[in-house]
A = this chain, B = another copy of it.
């Protein structure tokens, strides 16, 4: 493995000159640059990442901190991760996937942050009140959130615009003529834990429905097909004449569809279904394909990384706060309601 010294010797220049043609941190004449480049090619030289990191105090490694529990990642989160990895790679950074225990080891996080392995960090699955954020801030690590805390003062983040997403979804259903719309959220425990998407969409749903003069009926659901089934049963118990379901639960929505079929109700003729923050791939798995508010996918991860890198390379003090909308994509699961009363259903 050739070192910078070898290159310098072969090119008959000093090591610093070699370093400077590499970093471009000061002007080099065409002639010397050419000599150096030739020598590099000759020796098949690659700079040593660790040495560079130590000397420059920049590892060019970014951390992607994500809680990895039993369930693994959904399609939406996976898209964030792959988007981030691709973006990091594109700007010459490496991306370390760092599984951090959901709530537990803040100490581990602090330790991580102090090792100076990461130039900066993207934190996923942020809670409304998230100790990890303050821990990271105190450690002085440049930070961008995917999602956001309750108080975003001084923080950089990218998140989904849940308010607008819910508003559009409700508008779509109301526009079709639906009046009895039930909102199926994540579980009660998830809500209690302060999970932002669940709480923000809940509030947005109340606002949207009230704005249309309709009653906001909401049902929690476990993140499973069975949870979706149970939630739909509960929904019918509460609102027997419901004609539309708005699901904020990518997994439960399949149980909802199954239960609907089991009850002899057709989608979308008897009941319309909109799945929020859902990837097209998942939407296509259902029959009929789901009308969704499509999640921003890899763009989310990409934007987070780009903001972080801008923060690292740039002057420094700008904050990046951005909400991304989910786009309404109408597929086969929504239609105008038909009154089941007249059919005797």
A298 vs B72: C-alpha distance when bound (angstroms): 9
Distance from A187 Cβ to chain B, minimum over Cβ atoms (Å): 16
- Residues of A in contact, count (CB < 8 Å): 53
Q: Are B61 and A96 in contact (CB under 8 A)?
A: yes
A251 vs B224: C-alpha distance when bound (angstroms): 19
Q: Are A73 and B82 in contact (CB under 8 A)?
A: yes
Is residue A239 contacting chain B, with contact meaning CB distance below 8 A? no
Distance from A53 Cβ to chain B, minimum over Cβ atoms (Å): 4
Q: Are A99 and B89 in contact (CB under 8 A)?
A: yes
Q: Are B117 and A94 in contact (CB under 8 A)?
A: yes
Q: How many chain copies does the complex carry?
A: 2
A49 vs B281: C-alpha distance when bound (angstroms): 40
Given contacts A86-B99, A94-B98, A99-B86, contact A287 B46 (CB under 8 A): no
In the complex, chain B residues whose CB is within 8 Å of the CB of A89: 98-99
Is residue A48 contacting chain B, with contact meaning CB distance below 8 A? yes
DSSP majority for the A interface? Answer: mixed
Given contacts A54-B48, A285-B285, contact A85 B72 (CB under 8 A): no
Among listed A22-30, A144-152, A175-183, A253-261, interface-contacting one: A253-261
Given contacts A114-B44, A115-B49, contact A287 B85 (CB under 8 A): no
Q: Are B281 and A258 in contact (CB under 8 A)?
A: no
Is residue A47 contacting chain B, with contact meaning CB distance below 8 A? yes
Q: List A residues 230-271 near B (Cβ within 8 Å).
A: 251, 254, 257-258, 261-262
Q: Are B224 and A284 in contact (CB under 8 A)?
A: yes
Is residue A79 contacting chain B, with contact meaning CB distance below 8 A? yes
In the complex, 10 of the A-B residue pairs with CB atoms within 8 angstroms, ordered by the A residue number, are A48-B115, A50-B54, A53-B54, A54-B54, A72-B78, A78-B78, A89-B99, A94-B98, A96-B96, A285-B285
